[in-house]
Amino acid sequence: MKRIAVLGTGYVGLVTGACLAELGNEVCCIDTDAAKISILQSGGIPFFEPGLKELVERNNRAARLTFSTSPKALAESEIIFIAVGTPMADDGHANLAYIQEAARTIARCMEGQHTKLVVNKSTVPVETGDLVASIIREHNSQGADVRVVSNPEFLREGNAISDFMHPDRIVIGVYDEQSAAIMKELYAPLAAPIIVTDVRTAEMIKYTANAFLATRISFINEIAQICEEAGADIKDVVAGAGADGRIGTTFMSPGLGFGGSCFPKDVMALARIAEKHRIPPKMLKAVLEVNLEQVPRCVDRLQSALGGLRGRAVAVLGLAFKPNTDDIRESPALRLVQMLAAGGAIVHSHDPAVGLQAALPGGTVRHVNVYESLKDVDAMVIATDWNEYKQIDLELVARAMRGDIVFDARNIYEPEVVRAAGLRYYSVGRLAKAAAIKPSVLVQ
Over residues 319-344, the pLDDT tens digits come to: 999 999 999 999 999 999 999 999 99
Helix (H, G, I), strand (E, B) or coil at 88: strand
- pLDDT over 70 at 438, yes or no: no
Q: Collect all residues with Cβ–Cβ distance below 8 Å to 51 and sequence separation of at least 6.
A: 161
Q: Between vectors from CA 207 to CA 205 and to CA 211, what angle results, nearest 5°?
A: 120
The verdict on 183 and 234 lying in the same domain is no
The answer to whether the beta carbons of residues 234 and 209 sit under 8 Å apart is no
Q: How far apart are CA 360 and CA 358, in angstroms?
A: 6
Query: Rg for the chain (alpha carbons), in Å?
Result: 24
Question: Does any domain span residue 152?
Answer: yes
The verdict on 231 and 185 lying in the same domain is no
The answer to whether the beta carbons of residues 367 and 350 sit under 8 Å apart is yes
For residue 332, what is the domain's CATH number?
Answer: 3.40.50.720
- Among 19, 28, 262, 298, which one carries the catalytic annotation? 262
Active site residue 28: no
CB burial string 290-299: b at 16+ within 10 A, e below = bbeebbebbb
pLDDT at 113: 54
The pLDDT of 411-416, averaged and rounded, is 95
The answer to whether the beta carbons of residues 269 and 230 sit under 8 Å apart is no
How many beta carbons lie within 10 A of that of residue 239, not counting itself?
Answer: 12
The pLDDT of 186-192, averaged and rounded, is 97
What one-character-per-residue DSSP string does 398-423 give? HHH-SS-EEEETT--S-HHHHHHTT-
- pLDDT over 80 at 119, yes or no: yes
Render pLDDT for 271-282 as a digit per residue (tens, 0 to 9). 999 999 999 999
- pLDDT over 70 at 88, yes or no: yes
**Residue 441 pLDDT level (bands cut at 50, 70, 90):** very low
Question: Does any domain span residue 198?
Answer: no
Question: Does any domain span residue 441?
Answer: no
- pLDDT over 60 at 84, yes or no: yes
The verdict on 23 and 98 lying in the same domain is yes
The verdict on 80 and 153 lying in the same domain is yes
How many beta carbons lie within 10 A of that of residue 181, not counting itself?
Answer: 12
Render pLDDT for 219-235 as a digit per residue (tens, 0 to 9). 999 999 999 999 999 99
By CB atoms closer than 10 A (0-12, 13-18, 19+), residue 365 is middle
pLDDT at 48: 93
pTM over 0.85? The answer is yes
pLDDT higher for 443 or 390? 390
- pLDDT over 80 at 91, yes or no: yes
Domain count, the chain: 2
State the average pLDDT for the chain.
93
How many beta carbons lie within 10 A of that of residue 103, not counting itself?
Answer: 28
Which residue range is the domain that position 273 belongs to?
211-426
The verdict on 171 and 284 lying in the same domain is no
